Structure 1
């Protein structure tokens, strides 16, 4: 827009359009073989220049029309080859993208499989440790139960002995009416027996408290064992889920192997397409060389035709010049004859007018003479 505004300030629209037409016309005539086209040929051409320009244009159009089929054929072949190459290249890119996606999926599946296998090994090791701990706890529980049973039997025995002692004391109660010496001796024996029984009872109480503590410990251990059992059940479920995941992983591995086979098929197809593309490129190169050879031959033929055409143009130009000279001489002769004819006609006209004037003068003179004679 700025260029048009600036040009409108300097040149008129007609001048600008005329200059644009001159540039386009000059390019066209340079393609036709005329390299000396000037503004004089456009503004005030001579007859010789017009004949030359139109002759070059007509010959160029005839040559283009005669070679149009060959040019269109080679152009269409090159376009079809280019489209086929682009199609094969796009298919190759799609196959490469699909292959890269399959490789990424394969790597991701391998990573997931490795992580799951590692987790499964850790869970198996943990399960083995828990089983070993469970076996140890069960063994300890059996030992504690056996000790509890033994202590219970011992408590029952001591209780029975205590009851027997009480019965014996009840039996000895009637002897309190006996003599003090005997009673003192019996009391000493009873005190000794009572002290022994108290010591035994205290020992049994301590043993009972120890058994109660052991029983509480056994209850806590039993709860731990139950928790371990529940944990083992959960682990068994986790192992079952892991086995299901392993089965899924096997199925995924099989699918991955099938995809690998598909990838190999794609690689084979890619190699085949590459081979076809190489063959097409070779054929394209051969066609291009043939087209270049034909183009070179056509160019050589065109140069020869241009030389012949140049000779014909020169001959025609010479003949045109000779004809123009003859036409000029004929025109000059015709002009001279026309001028001479006009001069003769003008002289005849003047002679006729002079004759008529003289005739009128003579008639007037005769009339005057007749009049003078009559008087």
Structure 2
């Protein structure tokens, strides 16, 4: 058994045996997301069982992307699993980014407590669309930063900032004369004001997706990641792997939904036979088997590209589209074959359906990725026919 398989086996045992019973824990906020007390209890149990941040070794080195997939799929078997073992978004992507480009001081001050699962984080990039701010097109960024002595002062508004209301660390993108910049900050800060936390279809992550005002936020110059103007380059360091790890976690969730749906249709009878024996039902779960296997193959293919040292922008776009849409089909079929039970909170299937629907939008909706891929097709044709 490989290192990754051994870790994944421990993570799967922990998620199935310890985390799954907490899916009915009543400690939730108004939106149904896990309350801080529930998160801390889950993480204490993860430390006790030796599965905290399992894809990063004690010396700070990461498993390969291919091996990370093995572990993160196991962590995703419950919507609470990634939160419990510290493989959840946005923390996982933020840890990867700081590990890749952070200075020694930044790693000691900001990354270390994140690896220990004692601090959660937020990534401040998306802005309100009504104000013409950055969304799928980050070049539209309106948030500004200017040098003031040995600090930078940030002004602007951000929107859909996941778990900002409960984060202890933030990574903020802003625009200077030199171009995009990226900063790491301590939270809370009086200059970072939560304006609203709208209810959304998904609720697996604490703190929701916040609208945030940055009112004269002062950040020491040594907390800039890299140099002025390098922010978009560093965003790409984070975004391609982060798209892929989303796919890993939600593949795990949909494998669980398939298990639950399979158990249901193999026990339930109608019209004189078990539901699984009706082709209209059995064929849907057969199609799920195909989609789930194809998702795993796409994830492995993209992970291999990242492990070769490729930027994997194209591979991650293709994988994000293919996996998010396939998993949506899987979750939808699971709901359908379970009938009224599938849309109730009697099982976790209905939540997985909601979470996967949101997954088709965040980290770039399918349409944006297809548009980007179409541009590449045109560029490649123009180059070949010049």
Q: Which has the higher strand share?
A: 2
TM-score interval, normalised by the smaller of the two chains: under 0.3
Identify the structure with the greater helix proportion.
1
Higher relative CO (Cα under 8 Å, sequence separation at least 6) belongs to 1
Q: TM-score, normalization: structure 1?
A: 0.19
